[in-house]
A and B are shown apart, each in its own frame.
Chain A
């Protein structure tokens, strides 16, 4: 076993301990929900990180897949009275199918153009949620989404849902780690470092980019499913351009090309607005300033940036 995978195992174990302890110690329903949101946002950031951090392709429309996941399960469980557990694969498959159809022409673009293509797609899906009121409930939203149940276990309580979400997060972290260390992951990193060079050595870059785009859509749809059954009510405002940007921000602030960066970014960006409430009117100003300063001073994100600072401080005494 090399050092790195040992390190990851310790981190997984630490995460399990933290999750179990938090679940036992935190009893405030609001705090539990907030921690559950961190888990959902981690899934979003993790999916996008596979695309942005590893393959180097930006998406400014990922809230669309988040929304597709949430709306699919809402429509299937409420309109058609289908069990949520059957709606889950449907939600993920529909998001993946849409990602495939959209990805084929969009991923041919690069740089700002890719950003704009995905932005346009995200806006169109958002408008669809808002305007297709016969199916989606329109601007006023979709109510009455049922809670999750598994045999005798009900996930309507905050603590059970918290455990469910974090179990899925842990599983997803492991899956992503495995993918990154696989042939697919190596191919992705080669695209990030130089798409032309990757193609020259025989990496099918078009296919790989499409695969990772579809994969990240699946994670977003999973997050959307969990979100819908957590709050029982969804509205188009949750899946707008700002949300897409927030997911990108989580990835970038946490640190690209790092699964733990996704966790850190999601935690910070979910908690930040809570801390900023004390700033009340200055909330937006402070939020904007934080975003800008992190990017100016630690453009690699917090994980890498803080590690660099730590290493530099360790090296200092030698000089």
Chain B
């Protein structure tokens, strides 16, 4: 029992990170119907720039956090402006290759700046782990879950309460119709890229104290985040959160109770399962491209 609880705690921690990544995927898909295969690389950029800002540059945590997220968001917007908007025939296959190209490019940039070594980071706070029914809960896990809920609640308010957020939702429903009512839909796409890659950076920042950060960390994290987004329902904010947490917990239980070889397979088995059984995800509209 105690072991299972421990697995669930570690599952929630990694699940919260998958959830943050999944939210980034979902937000972008919502506004642009695009899946960004370079998303994991933005997670990597967030993690490594945070490590650098708070380590060698000795910035306090909060400014380092904000600076690295903002910096990555700017890179994400540049990416949209230079490589996505310029595409003449935006069909899925072309966009997939472009984002894959971007992911290789960004990985290369990461390697040039930070080298091939892994970088570490102390936890956000030095609190000792909590002891709950014999299982240890790291303070960093609480930070991660708290940041997940704060950012998602913030995004939820942004979409529902602010004019810009509502304009973005309108673009998600129909870009043309939104444009006709005077919404600058191109700017909204740019903003969606900024927000999505910024969320990627948030995931990178919160993961940096619990794992080694290196230039090639992004691919697997990106794919798992994607699985989580599919699981919850692509395009749904809270669906992504549920999908991420569920994936994290199932993965941890699979590793703990069945076999450690199952770790990476869990995400993809779940992905296939959900695609075959209910491609709209746990939460999500029933209308999907499926015959």
Contacts and interface: CB of A to CB of B under 8 A. Distances in A.
Q: Do A and B bind each other?
A: yes
Interface of A: 52, 58, 60, 105-106, 108-113, 115-117, 119-121, 123-124, 127-128, 130-131, 241, 245, 248-249, 252, 256, 281-292, 295-296, 299-300
Interface in B201-230: 219, 223, 226-227, 230
B218 to A, nearest CB: 12
Contacts of B265: 123-124, 127-128, 131
Interface stretch (B95-103, B125-133, B137-145, B181-189): B95-103
B276 A105 contact: yes
23 contacts: A52-B93, A112-B92, A113-B288, A113-B289, A115-B92, A115-B96, A116-B35, A116-B275, A117-B271, A117-B275, A124-B268, A127-B264, A127-B268, A248-B93, A248-B97, A284-B105, A288-B101, A288-B105, A288-B108, A290-B101, A292-B101, A295-B101, A300-B89
A299 B88 contact: yes
Contacts of A109: 275, 279, 289-290
B290 A110 contact: yes
Contacts of B4: none
B59 interface: no
Contacts of B96: 58, 60, 115, 248
Given A116-B226, A116-B230, A287-B104, 11 more contacts: A58-B92, A110-B291, A115-B35, A119-B223, A119-B271, A128-B265, A245-B100, A282-B108, A287-B108, A291-B101, A296-B87
A284 B290 contact: no
B251 to A, nearest CB: 13
B105 A249 contact: no
B83 interface: yes
A295 B97 contact: yes
Contacts of B109: 285
Contacts of B227: 120
Q: Which 3 A-B pairs have the closest CB atoms?
A: A288-B105, A284-B108, A291-B101
B98 A296 contact: yes
Q: Describe A's contact surface by its main secondary structure.
A: helix
Nearest to A291: B101
Interface in B31-65: 35
A120 B104 CA distance: 20
B277 to A, nearest CB: 9
A124 B270 CA distance: 11
B258 to A, nearest CB: 12
Interface centre among B104, B106, B109 (most CB of A within 10 A): B104
B157 interface: no
Interface in B223-261: 223, 226-227, 230, 259, 261
